Structure 1
Amino acid sequence: MFWIKFAFIVLIVFVINIIVKLLLRKLLKIEKEKKSFFSYNHINELHRKIDWAIRITSTIVLIVTNTLVIIEGYSINLIIIAMIFYFVLDYTVRALFECKYSQNPKQYILTMSEGFIFLLSIVIVIYFDLLIKLP
């Protein structure tokens, strides 16, 4: 039952994200950029370096927080807070580079809306406990 709920929530978030992006593109006249599906899509070399630094530090921090939760008995909320922090940091860095260095600076609006939708969906799932219902 967990995977059915998870797939349904992911599908809903994906559809909402597509609809919001389409509406923002039409309203703000933002050109569509061609991106590879599983590509990093870095704006420039500095963005690539900063992005990899964020990925490496987030991996190290998540390993440490997992260790603290499992061995030391800290709250699972520590992992959630760390994940949300790095998620917000990643989208903010991407939006800043799109705004300053991209050929299409309005693209940052779409990036920020996507990040906001994903963050809001995570908060809603956690707040309303949509995935796991204990008997």
Structure 2
Amino acid sequence: MFLIKLALFVLIVFGLNVVVKLLLKKVLKIEKEKNSFFSYNHINNLHRKIDWGIRITSIITITITNILVIVENYPNYLLLIPIFCLGLDYPVRAFFERKYSQNPKQYILTLSEGVIMLLAIVIVIQFNLFITQ
């Protein structure tokens, strides 16, 4: 039952994200950008350095949080990890898209995706959606 709920939730969030991006592209006339599916395109060298700093910070945070969960038995801390990681990654990417990209309107799509992801995490936390009995 857990996997079905998780798959349905991920599908809904993904679908909502696609619909919002399509609407924003159409309404705000944002040009389509070509990106590979699994690659992360950095805007410039500074963006790559900052992004790697965020990734390393996220790994350290995940490690410390997992230790706290195991040692101190605080399972709710696991839900804070995605908020921390998304809260760092999306604003930085949006800043570099707005400031240094050839298509500065792209930052709107990045921020909308980040907001949808954060809302999904908050909904999971608020309604205890994936708590198993």
What's the TM-score, normalizing by structure 2?
Answer: 0.94
- Trace 1:31-70 onto structure 2 (pairs within 5 A): 31-70=31-70
Pairwise CA distance, 1:89: 0.7
- Trace 1:2-21 onto structure 2 (pairs within 5 A): 2-21=2-21
Pairwise CA distance, 1:122: 1.1
Give 3-state SS (helix, strand or coil) of 1:31's partner. coil
| Alignment check: 8 A CA contact 1:62 1:83 kept | no
* Cα shift readout 1:2-46 (whole Å, capped 9, x = no counterpart): 111101100000110000000000110100100000001111111
Q: Which amino acid aligns with 1:78?
A: Y
| Alignment check: 8 A CA contact 2:79 2:125 kept | no
Instruction: Assess, with a 3 A threshold, how the Cα gap between structure 1 residues 18 and 90 changes in structure 2: closer, same or farther.
Output: same
The unaligned stretches of length 5 or more in structure 2 are none
- What percent identity do the matched residue pairs reach? 67
Q: Which amino acid aligns with 1:48?
A: R
Detail structure 1 runs of 4+ shifted over 3 Å in the superposition: none
* Cα shift readout 1:50-88 (whole Å, capped 9, x = no counterpart): 101110111012101111221133x22333223312211
Give 3-state SS (helix, strand or coil) of 1:113's partner. helix
